[in-house]
Amino acid sequence: MDLRLKQLSYSAMLNLHSCPRRYQLDRLQAPKEEDDANGSSVTFATGHTIGQGIQHTLEGRTEQEILWQAFLMWEPDLLAENPKQNKSFWECIAAIQKFISMRELGFLEDWQLAYHQGQPCCELSFLVHLPDGFVYRGFVDAVLQHSLTGEIMVLELKTTSSYAVNAATYKNSAQAIGYSVVLDHLFPEASSYEVLYLVYKTKSREYEQLPFTKSYLQRALWIRELLLDIEIIKLYENADCYPMHGENCLPFYRECEYLYTCTLSTDKLTDALSVEQEQKLLEKHNEYQIHITLNDLIDSQLRKEEN
């Protein structure tokens, strides 16, 4: 199997579940149809810029430094905007300043950044080594620790253009459950984790908090479900058929980038992985801060069950 198909992540699994063919073409780097480049880039940059600003605030940086780093993070034209969704560089600055003000007024005042090997747990990168050469990669926005109880909490940062946020959007998200499984290995003394989704609503310019507790059962099921997904990928690969789920050709109300090419032969759309590309891909794994094996995850779960 092409090594690129074995690089799993939360976003990759969303593609696999919604349309296996899109997952295959994405992993194999098939050319995509042109999209609304300006609108898409502004939307993408907005989430990343606000998220980085919040992380830097938690790290205790000065407001001047935080805003300067936001300027450096912003990749679209400085005047590019999405006026319908209130997304622009200047809206990002306002959102970051609002969070700074919230912190000064006592928001999460008993929570401080957790540290791993002397480094603050912001944008904490991890890689889980799975059977048959598969890996699962991820980045945790921030890990907080209560200054009095020592309790651990995952802070997950999101932006939305919706006026209202439904808790069902995030309650059973595999993304946060996966993070808590990794934290089991880093903080074995904790029995359950709270995940706080902090969602910035761009239209109303307000933050909304959605806290969830991830139980032991949810974390154990996440491991089993991930292994099942791997078996499904191997099944598709052995059958040389990644199904096209036509009901998902309009994700997020935009045409799928492969809408007019997905029925073509994969050989015509993608190039085989070269030895040099494979080596670079494997070397990139070394950039992740935390490396964990499947056995590590299972052992940490079993220890908690014994306790």
Q: Which pLDDT band, with edges at 50, 70 and 90, does 37 fall under?
A: very low
Q: Which pLDDT band, with edges at 50, 70 and 90, does 304 fall under?
A: confident
Q: SS3 for 169?
A: helix
What is d(CA 269, CA 267) in angstroms, rounded to the nearest whole number? Answer: 6
Q: Which pLDDT band, with edges at 50, 70 and 90, does 302 fall under?
A: confident
Q: Is the pLDDT of residue 185 over 80?
A: no
The pLDDT tens digits for 174-183 are 887 888 777 8
Q: Among 121-130, 139-148, 160-169, 293-302, name the one with the lowest average pLDDT.
A: 293-302
- Which helix or strand (DSSP H or E) is residue 237 part of? helix 216-239
Helices (H), 28-162: 37-58, 63-73, 89-104
What is d(CA 297, CA 29) in angstroms, rounded to the nearest whole number? Answer: 30
Helices (H), the chain: 10-18, 20-27, 37-58, 63-73, 89-104, 174-186, 216-239, 266-269, 275-284, 294-306
The DSSP output letter for 251 is G
Per-residue pLDDT averaged across 184-196, rounded? 76
What is d(CA 285, CA 95) in angstroms, rounded to the nearest whole number? Answer: 33
In the chain, what's the furthest Cα-to-Cα distance? 59
**pLDDT value of residue 35:** 53
**pLDDT value of residue 41:** 86
What is d(CA 193, CA 234) in angstroms, rounded to the nearest whole number? Answer: 32
Q: SS3 for 148?
A: coil
Nearest residue to 4 (alpha-carbon basis) of 258, 283, 273: 273
Burial class (CB in 10 A: 0-12, 13-18, 19+), 276: exposed
What is d(CA 204, CA 195) in angstroms, rounded to the nearest whole number? Answer: 23
Residue 250 to residues 10, 17, 28, 53, 169, Cα–Cα distance (Å): 20, 14, 21, 32, 18
The pLDDT tens digits for 147-168 are 998 888 999 999 999 998 999 9
If you classify domain 31-237+265-306 with CATH, what class do you get? alpha beta
* C-alpha radius of gyration, the chain, whole number: 20
Q: SS3 for 247?
A: helix
What is the chain's percent helix, strand, coil content, to nearest 5?
50, 20, 30
Q: Which pLDDT band, with edges at 50, 70 and 90, does 38 fall under?
A: very low
**pLDDT value of residue 239:** 96
- Domain definitions of the chain by residue range: 1-30+243-264, 31-237+265-306
86 contacts 42 by C-beta, under 8 angstroms? no
At residue 43, φ and ψ (nearest 5 deg) are -60, -45
